[in-house]
Amino acid sequence: MTLKFTDIEGLAWGKLLSVQAAMLRRLEEMLQTEFHVSHGEFEVLLRLVWADDHRRRIRDLADASVLTRSGMSRLVDRLEQAGLVRRETAAEDARGAYAILTTKGQELQAVAEIRIVELVRERFLSLYNEAELQQMGAFWTRFLNHETEHSDS
Amino acid sequence: MTLKFTDIEGLAWGKLLSVQAAMLRRLEEMLQTEFHVSHGEFEVLLRLVWADDHRRRIRDLADASVLTRSGMSRLVDRLEQAGLVRRETAAEDARGAYAILTTKGQELQAVAEIRIVELVRERFLSLYNEAELQQMGAFWTRFLNHETEHSDS
DNA sequence: TATAGATGATTGCGCACGCATTGTCAATAG
DNA sequence: CTATTGACAATGCGTGCGCAATCATCTATA
């Protein structure tokens, strides 16, 4: 057990950071210039599209993201301001609030997703064949399973 | 060319985001609690360790990072405040300034790096064998080469 | 040499975030 | 039924960042 990364480790780990930084920068830029939403905001729209009735509790949205509840509360503020989402206090638990996708939000999400798929395919996925993509997926699944098993912090 | 990701694409791309988010959260937390520096601040210390004379221009540090010049200027402010770095105006170009590692900064970097290697090995690298790590490295190298070729934006 | 334009670092301003707190409500115990 | 405890969302405050403007300096051109 040495104190520095080996060359192989340095490539596998260090460059992983660069890859995702490069891709996220591009995505952020595209979403901002074409749709005036941040990547985080788009992710919320996407989760609402996936959800039953196009609605999710603020708490759940926060837990599923990198943000805290307060951060998510304000992110929903901005989406509401932009008319992409509306709020509704929960019928079954008056403490909670739902964020609900509006028609406008749904439309924006659909178009933005098409552009994202285009961009990710063009700059990332197209560099690998089917078998390689499958292998990557297997790598990540292994990591995420291990993560949820060991420490659900 | 369909409008949505295939399952394989969704794994290879979507989960990549989760993997690196999970790892970065852990690293941030460790660096903050054990060494009171952010991940970005540590990265600057690391670059200074690598540099000749342990000194780099603020401009170069910014370009090599995700930050703008102004952001890097303030990051160096904080490192200076903490006594990990000192500033010096450049002899060869009086517009510029160097950030220079202090002994204290060098010591902190050395210890922190050991912990980072430990953590990354324990939670990520240890899940894969040598061949798999090599393959990952090849994947990332392919991406980064393609990226620098095509659009140096 | 004089001057226009480019470049490096810094700073004012606004924004998004986390932390800690508050207000509201639900659930459980007595 | 009441009191205590815990959970959800919202908000005040502090912080780190980008953008744009500024100041100092370098470089290129006439």
- In terms of CA atoms, which chain A residue is nearest residue B136? A12
Q: What is the pLDDT of residues B50-96, one digit of tens each?
A: 999 999 999 999 998 889 999 999 999 999 999 999 999 999 999 99
Alpha-carbon span B153 to B149, nearest angstrom: 11
Q: What is the pLDDT of residues A99-119, one digit of tens each?
A: 999 999 999 999 999 999 999
What's the pLDDT score for residue B16? Answer: 86
Confidence class for position B152, pLDDT limits 50, 70, 90: very low
Angle between helices B69-81 and B39-50 (to 10 degrees): 90
Enter the pTM of the model: 0.83
Query: In A, what residues contact B, Cβ < 8 A?
Result: 1, 3-5, 8-9, 11-13, 15-22, 25, 66, 113-114, 117, 120-121, 123-125, 127-128, 130, 132-144, 146-147
What's the pLDDT score for residue B77? Answer: 97
Q: Do A139 and B132 touch (CB under 8 A)?
A: yes
Spanning CA of A89 to C1' of C7, the rounded length in angstroms is: 54
What's the pLDDT score for residue A150? Answer: 67
**Long-range CB contacts (within 8 A, 24+) of A115-120:** A115/A30, A115/A34, A115/A35, A116/A27, A116/A30, A116/A31, A116/A42, A117/B3, A117/B4, A117/B5, A119/A26, A119/A27, A119/A30, A120/A23, A120/A27, A120/B5, A120/B9, A120/B13
Average pLDDT in chain B: 91
Tell if A71 CB is < 7 Å from nucleic strand C: yes
Beta-carbon contacts of residue A46 (< 8 Å; ≥ 6 apart): A109, A113
Identify whether the C-beta of residue A41 lies closer than 8 Å to the C-beta of residue A35: no
Q: What is the pLDDT of residues A5-24, one digit of tens each?
A: 999 998 898 888 878 878 88
What's the pLDDT score for residue B76? Answer: 97
As beta bridge partners, residue B88 has: B98
Alpha-carbon span B123 to A14, nearest angstrom: 14
Confidence class for position B132, pLDDT limits 50, 70, 90: very high
Average pLDDT in chain A: 90
Spanning CA of B92 to C1' of C7, the rounded length in angstroms is: 14
